[in-house]
Amino acid sequence: MTLLFNDPASFVDEMVEGFVAANGRWVRSVPGGVVRRHPPSEPTVAVIIGGGSGHYPAFGGLVGSGLAHGAVIGNVFASPSADQVHRVAVAAQTGAGVLLSYGNYTGDVLNFDQAQGRLQAEGIPCRTVVVTDDISSASADEVHRRRGIAGDLVVFKIAGAAADEGRSLDDVARVAARANERCRSLGVAFSGCTLPGADRRLFEVPLGRMAVGMGVHGEPGIREQEMPSADQLAHLFTESLLHERPSSADNVSGARVVVILNGLGTVKYEELFVVYRRVVRELAEAGLTVVDARVGEFVTSFDMAGASMTLLWLDDELESLWAAPADAPAFHKAYTEPEEHALQTDSSHGSSAPGVIPAATDDSRTAAMTVAKALRSIRSAIDEHADELGRLDSVAGDGDHGIGMQRGVRAAVEAADTACKQGAGVRTTLARAADEWANRAGGASGALWSVALHAMAAALNDEGRPSKRDLVDGVAAAARAVQSAGKAQPGDKTIVDALQPFASTFAAAVDRGDSTAGAWKEAAAAAAQGAERTASMVARVGRARPHGEKSVGTPDPGAISFVVVVKAVLPVLSEDSAVGEQTTEGRRA
């Protein structure tokens, strides 16, 4: 919802005033919009763009060298008037003619066409190139009926570069039309947008669904489907746009393209990068070369949660014009020789090189496989409880504990499985899982779980199968290491309140002669009681400390997740005797 405004009727005027004040290096205000602060020194075709407000950086943010010479700015989601278009064009033109370019919407067409007629009647040569890149808004047989969405940036950039080269009006119009003809886009949304002063969205998308085929004026999608993952959305984008290859692009394999992954308002850059990592792989697999990629916000729809993807299929002329420099409030491009973007194939996420696997006995490798099985069980349990862990963490923290635990244990599973395939023993397997848990989870919980697993690993070895006493020592070492690293004591409302009773109960049960699984079960129950007791405590250390009183009544999420973990290990111990079923006189670490 739009939050910052005064009188909604004054929103656009006040927005333009602030925009010009902030970007006076590039633009100056004129009736109806903005023009370049510094006009060309020689007569040059003036590229005039525009439409309604609510789409920033379009349209004012795209005025500058190598881009547009002026932008007409209408009311929110409303076409500017013919008079506004005429005034901006007259202010920007320098005697070489005017090219009007904008998205293909009825109101824009009516008003820009009227303005073109007035300009021509006054002796100012004028041509129009309407942007029609949205593949969802009409069939391939009726391209002229399609809307303009983020392909606006492509056409404006090509036209602006051509104009700044000093080309004629006819030639600028020709290359702009060619850019439009070789440009395709598709948009999706997860929620609608609201206008300043409105108390409801222009349209709604049901929870867990995605609208496909979005314009940029709050129009509902053409269809709905289940909410995809980032990779699934990347596949939808690439598959749909490749299917719509322009007729002038002879082949897919070997083609050179520009990719624009555009956020429509509230989808953040980090999310777009997650999508793009898959997009670039799929394009490479199809045989395309990505010459340039732009990931960010270029043509938005106020606060709509959505995204679009655009492909520009290059030829030599378009590639040269795209490579030309540009400098505007919201788009900067230094000149670069066209070059291929290297495809990153490293999937290690920055982890350290695996190094040499130490020699291990068959018994230790069997125990390592049990560790990997236990981690897979933990992964399933954490996935099941992630939302609840996040909810608990949001009471006095930032709500990311469930996600952090998921990232950590998933990475640990991958590391353990890889180590087992390479023939690692139990100590090496557990240590590598500990490293990757920390690398991927980050934060306090990632560090503490890494410390705990490393301490546990140090009590084991790659030469034999762990005994019950080895496990007792390992659990005790983990408890000491976590308490030391986190500077926490029992009663501080942390993982220690569950870990300490677990360690002491497990040791006592083993000393009585209980089986590993039996001792672990009793210890897990003690941990659960310890975690429950944290609900009445005030957080005294950690991120929740500043909001300690607020946390009273809610158990500590770190203690709860510890209980989830140890309970998930129990079925593996019950089914598999590879760990801990030697006598206490068995092999020690």
Give whole-number Cα distances, 70 to 37, 50, 54, 93, 173, in Å. 10, 8, 17, 9, 16
> 422 vs 358, 359, 425, CA distance in Å?
10, 10, 9
φ, ψ for residue 493 (rounded to 5)? 70, 65
575 three-state secondary structure: helix
Distance, CA of 428 to CA of 435 (rounded, Å): 11
Mind giving me the DSSP string for 335-373? -----PPPPP---STTPPP--PPPP--HHHHHHHHHHHH
Residue 229: partners with Cβ closer than 8 Å, 6 or more residues away:
none
Among 86, 217, 385, 454, which one carries the catalytic annotation? 217
Whether residue 307 contacts residue 233, with contact meaning beta carbons closer than 8 Å, is answered with yes
Three-state DSSP at 71 gives: strand
Which two tokens mark 170? Answer: 């006819």
Burial of 341 (0-12, 13-18, 19+ CB in 10 A): middle
Q: Hey, CA dihedral for 413, 415, 417, 419, is it positive or negative?
A: negative
- Tell the burial category of 159 from Cβ atoms under 10 Å away from its Cβ (0-12, 13-18, 19+): buried
Q: Give SS3 for 311.
A: strand
Note if the bond before 59 is cis, omega within 30 degrees: yes
Nearest Cα to Cα of residue 49 among 64, 40, 436: 64
| Count of Cβ atoms closer than 10 Å to residue 383 Cβ | 14
Q: Tell me the residue ranges of DSSP E strands in 437-492.
A: none
Would you call the peptide bond into 196 cis, given omega within 30 degrees of 0 as the criterion?
Answer: no
Known active-site residue 243: no
Cβ-based neighbour number of residue 177 at 10 Å: 18
> Taking Cα atoms as reference points, which of 476, 481, 489 lies closest to residue 452?
481
**What share of residues in the chain are helix, strand, coil (percent, to 5)?**
50, 15, 35
At position 101, the amino acid (one-letter code) is S
* Enzyme catalytic residues: 217
